Structure 1
Amino acid sequence: MASPTKPRHCAELLGIGPSIAEMVRPLTQLGEKLARTLPSGLGRVSGAEAPVVRIGIPAEGTLDALIAEETGLTAHSLMGLGPKRLPLLASFEAAPVLRLLDRTFGGRGLLPDPLPTRFPLSAELLLARMEDAIAAALSAGMGGDDVHRVMPLRRDTVLAQLAPFGAGEPLLRIVLEVDEAGAEPWSLALAFPLGTLASALVAPRRKRRAVTRTARPGPDTEPFASLPIEVTAVLVDMTLPFSRLSALRPGDVLPVTVARAVPLRVDGRTIAAGTVGEVEDRVAVQIQNAF
């Protein structure tokens, strides 16, 4: 009588996810996307020209190893991916943050001596803007939908107190080198636990991929929101015969009357109308109608 055969189940039925080695390539591809999308966000943070971002090679590690390597003042930002808030970590050393802060306030990017033991409030506000830029770039790089939306959750300078994920949980860490014109290059590090990487970068199996339709960008969203548009307020619109126009000389006076409804025009098209007034010793137009 033949002995019963031991059943074998595939990894999908057992719920076994990809290994760290299998996630190196997807994370590298994500890093390449960040190198293209993150510069514009960092440029808006610093108010300068968009920097050049280069990616390093993903390295395997654990939270315990990161804590052991921690030296000096560093801001660690815990971020959450999707509705389940799957954790990932962004880390910023103090020196580049303080240099960027000095440049933001018109300085040359000098460091205080000695370095502070904690970030000042102005640096905390700058860190929040940097977190938003990284979260937006990560969201776009992972798909741009609600399932892959990344949001900053909390921040701490002591990684052990932040406890972003399990101490021994396997993770991959990637370093982004940022090269800004006229400033010293700096870097930031992103760390992803294996579970977060698998959910973010591995397409689900045995399911048809849903088609995601993204909404068209509006005038209050990028890339249109920061686009400069020239608006002209027409205070006087008058008609002169050519004979009078050709006879004008310095010192001549033309009596004019400012209309009650001052049109606002963009590229020759009237978009609104308002009345002329004054705000803090400056001429202003109060919008009465918008078309």
Structure 2
Amino acid sequence: MNDTTSSLSGEEVDALMTGLGEHDAADPGSDVAKPYKLGGASLRPMTALPALERMGERLARRLREVIEPFARAKPKVVAETVSIRRFESWRAEQPEFMSLSLYHLRPMKGGVLLAIEPEFINRLVDTFYGGSGTKRPGKPREFTATEERLVGRLSEALIGAVAEVWSEVKPVQPRLNSRETNTAFASLVRDEEPVAIARFLVTPPLQSATGTIDILYPVSALRTVEAELNANLHDDGGIASRHWRDRMSIALSDVRLEARSVLARPNISVAELLQLKPGDVIPISVPQLVPLLVAGRPVAVGRIGDQDGRAALKIERVEGGFHNE
């Protein structure tokens, strides 16, 4: 060894060994590398799921109006609970052939996928042209020209209803990106990425068969508006339209209520009541403050006086109970 090479002293060696011992005694999992799968972190719970489900309930009502012209009657539409799954898991359960429309809701990030069963399209075409909604025999492999036209009209009406409901949270403008009939070409997100699935079960009148409409949102896109969704969830009106609330407030402000005041409440016996005759005097004492009652509930107290030759009540104090409800 070269003479210029420095060596550790005994104290330094003891200190080094002590440090290694302390490191071994630490939590063994604190510095251990853990496997990480891309996209896995996105599966954390979404606090805005209740808001999405409320939006689904509102959208179900709108879908009844949208599908009615095609079904020639108002159908029954039920919104299922919103679920979050990986896109590949949802795609694996779908048939090889179906109606897939990919839209972009500006300015939200990502796209929205509308998925409609082909049998439902076929039955709608039959009822639209006066039939009973009988399913076409055989397994559909492609849409006819008539069915393609109905798919275009129905998809545009559906995405219009989606945009209308979403505009109550964030104004959006839908734009068609593509239409496909094979889920392998529906490039909404990567296979491992999670999506929120809003499923609607549609049953036209006089039919036992139920059609399914799926609306898929990328979870990554929903994260960007999670604050707005939560804000609307905790709003007193739920996800109600602000314009509707303004109109309701204006309408309620014109409603007229009967207001009255009670000057005194004398007590008399039944015998005195039976002996009452014109000219009798019932002594009363008027308090300094009398209540103002609206719909039988006290809203304020005031003093009796006169204004312009008419009896009047001067408000001294407004009660809080009426305003809190």
**2:146 is the alignment partner of 1:122:** yes
Q: Paired residue for 1:44?
A: 69
Gaps of 5+ in 1: 1-15, 206-211, 215-291
Tell me how large the CA RMSD over aligned residues is. 2.9
Letter in 2 for 1:192: Y
**2:198 is the alignment partner of 1:198:** no
Q: Secondary structure at the match of 1:195?
A: helix
Shift, 1:19, TM fit: 4.4
Q: Secondary structure at the match of 2:149?
A: helix
Q: Secondary structure at the match of 1:80?
A: strand
Letter in 1 for 2:212: S
Gaps of 5+ in 2: 1-40, 231-240, 244-325
**2:120 is the alignment partner of 1:96:** yes
**2:88 is the alignment partner of 1:54:** no
Cα-to-partner distance string for 1:186-245 (whole Å, 9 max, x where unaligned): 22111111122234553199xxxxxx997xxxxxxxxxxxxxxxxxxxxxxxxxxxxxxx
Q: Which of 172, 196, 212 matches 1:187? A: 212
Q: What is the 5 A alignment of 1:142-157? A: 142-143=166-167, 147-157=171-181
Aligned pair count? 194
Q: Which of 113, 127, 132 matches 1:108? A: 132
Cα-to-partner distance string for 1:28-86 (whole Å, 9 max, x where unaligned): 0110110222211111333x222221110112212211222122421111111113563
Distance verdict in 2 for CA 1:17–1:164, change over 3 Å: closer
Letter in 2 for 1:53: V
Q: Paired residue for 2:104?
A: 80
Say whether the 8 Å CA contact 1:35–1:53 is kept in structure 2. yes
- Tell me the distance in 2 between the aligned counterparts of 1:170 and 1:153: 20
Q: Which of 179, 185, 190 matches 1:161? A: 185
Report % sequence identity: 20
Cα-to-partner distance string for 1:150-192 (whole Å, 9 max, x where unaligned): 3332111111212122221111112101122122322211111
Q: Which of 59, 80, 91 matches 1:34? A: 59
Say whether the 8 Å CA contact 2:43–2:194 is kept in structure 1. no
Q: Secondary structure at the match of 1:188?
A: strand
Shift, 1:112, TM fit: 2.0
Q: Secondary structure at the match of 1:203?
A: helix
TM-score by length of structure 1 reads 0.59
Say whether the 8 Å CA contact 1:45–1:129 is kept in structure 2. no
Q: Secondary structure at the match of 1:112?
A: coil
- Tell me the distance in 1 between the aligned counterparts of 2:108 and 2:53: 24
Structure with greater helix percent: 2
Say whether the 8 Å CA contact 1:41–1:134 is kept in structure 2. yes
- Tell me the distance in 2 between the aligned counterparts of 1:201 and 1:90: 21
Shift, 1:135, TM fit: 0.9
Letter in 2 for 1:202: A
Letter in 2 for 1:45: F
Cα-to-partner distance string for 1:95-115 (whole Å, 9 max, x where unaligned): 111011111122221222212
